[in-house]
Amino acid sequence: MGNKPKLDWENLTVKPERVIGKLEPGMSIFLGTGVGEPRTLVKHLMAANSNHLKDLELIQVVSLGDAISVEALNSNAYRLKTFFSGWVASEAITAGQVDLIPSSFSRIPLLIESGRIPIDVALVQITPPNEAGYCSLGVAVDVGRQAMAQASLVVGEINPDIPVTLGDTFVPLSDFDFLVRSTEKPIYFCRWPVDDVFDRLAANVASIIEDGSCLAFSLGPLFEALSRHLVRKHNLGIHTPFFTDAL
C-alpha cells in the first residue's frame, strides 16, 4: 500500500479577523496555557478595534509572553481570569483587571468540566494534522480538551514549530470550527541564570534536606540551583506545578 497523501491543511485555514468577527460582548474566552498560548489569535484580539468587543473575559491558567497587554486589560473590553499570579497576571493585579481563582491545579479540569467556570470560546495552539487528520495539543496538555468540550466556538491555531506530544493529546480537525495559521514563534521559557550567591544559598538549603523529604518545588534561580545539590539525596518527593529542566 502506498503512503496517504499529505493533508493540505493550509487551505483549511481562515484569517484571524474572521474569528474575531465571531466574538460577541460578554463572552468567556479560554486561551491555551503558558507556552501553549495561541499568540497570533491573542495578538489580533488585543489589537482589534471594534465596538462589539466589550466585556470579554479571558480565561487562562498561566499567562506568559507579550500577547496579552496590560494596556488592553485597562480598557472595558477585556478582563483576565487566571489561576496563577505571576508574569502578566502580576501587572494586571496591580491594575485591578484580573480575577485570581484560588484552586489547586488538579481541580482546574473539574471546574471547567462542571461548568462552574463557563467557557464560550476556546482558542488553543495545535500542531499541523497528521495523515489521519489529527492534531496534537503540543506543549500544553492540561485543560485544553475540557475547554474545547465546553465551548460553542473552538478555534485551533496551527503552529508548525511546536512539538507533537504523545498520550491523550490528539484531537481531530472535525473538533474545530475554525483553523488559523500561526504567524508567531512559540513562547520559549528560558532557564534562570544562577550566580554564586544563589549557588551557595542552595547548597545551604540542601544541607538540611534529609533523605525521604517531600519538597515543594517552584520556579526561579534558587530552585534552578537547588536541583544540582540534591543529586545525592534519596527517596525525595516533589510537589510542583512545573516540571522544569532543572528537575
CATH code for the structural domain at 196-239: 3.30.750.70
Q: Chain centroid to CA 27: how far?
A: 19
The structure's pTM equals 0.83
Distance between CA atoms of 232 and 229, rounded to whole angstroms?
7
Q: Are 130 and 9 within 8 A, CB to CB?
A: no
Distance between CA atoms of 240 and 235, rounded to whole angstroms?
16
Q: pLDDT band at residue 4, thresholds of 50, 70 and 90?
A: low
E-assigned strand segments in the chain: 28-31, 56-60, 78-82, 98-100, 121-126, 134-136, 153-158, 170-172, 178-181, 214-216, 237-239
* Domain ranges within the chain, ordered by starting residue: 9-181, 196-239
pLDDT tens per residue across span 77-95: 888 888 876 666 566 666 6
Q: What is the pLDDT of residue 75?
A: 74
What CATH architecture does domain 9-181 belong to?
A: 3-Layer(aba) Sandwich (3.40)
Q: Measured at the alpha carbon of residue 138, what is the angle toward residues 105 and 115, in degrees to the nearest 5?
A: 40
Length of the chain: 247
